[in-house]
Structure 1
Amino acid sequence: MERRVRATGHENVSAEHASTFELTSDDWLTPAGDCILAVEADTVPADFDAEFVEACQSHEATITVTLRADGHEEAIEGRGHPDLSFENDRSMVGRTSDYVDDRTVMVGADKAAADLDREFVDALAAGADLECVLRAEE
């Protein structure tokens, strides 16, 4: 089961956070937002349908996030969790830890923002369009 999100890079994308990555629907980004990869996301967790959310609410679920921008592709694999609520109406966060809040869309991610290829990050900092594909499988 897949869902797509489109967003846009921003000049303040640094992707230096060691334990999370984030997409936000906000249209701005300060340098402090070192986990944020893109802004103006057209879909937020609260927009996901119940079927997709339910598929993610299992410890057995594998969640893969594929990020594409300017000819670059990054795949991040993590897992689901029963406490994933997909209720946030502003941003989605992938986490290397098991911490869950209303922004969390995956836990146990095998990459955070700091682990992403620097050419990919540079493309986002130059304002490249980002396609994010979330895939949930059991």
Structure 2
Amino acid sequence: MAKTQKTLGPRVEEKTADWLNRTFGSTNAGAEYILAAIPALYARTMSDIKKRFSASELYLIIDVHNGMMLSPGLAGQHIIPSCIDSMELDGTGEKWGVGRRFSDKLVKLSLFERACLEIWAAAFWEQHDQPEALSLETYVA
């Protein structure tokens, strides 16, 4: 059975298009490769990351990302200051029973791992209006 394909027309900055062209031979080939590869890379990365954090720490990350806009130019750079500020200023550490060593775990993640964690946390809030929306506990599990 042939896989169904969908045509997309993403817009990218010129520097991104130039990089795709240099790296993959054409902008379209690069975009197709990245769009096809990222879901599997993301799933594997999140599987590995979730083993390093407690459920309470993951709840805190999701809580902090409520309403946060993801910015591709700052991918992976939001999570550390956002979580630390939220713990210090809003008491989310106490709310979720998360201590100071949590920030050390975040710092040890690679930039790509942090970006995946940001996407994962923000995605929880994107599914809230869907009929099959997952509870916080189910999403974290």
Instruction: Give the TM-score of the pair, scaled to structure 2.
Output: 0.28
- Structure with bigger strand share is 1
- Structure with bigger helix share is 2
| Structure of higher CA gyration radius | 2
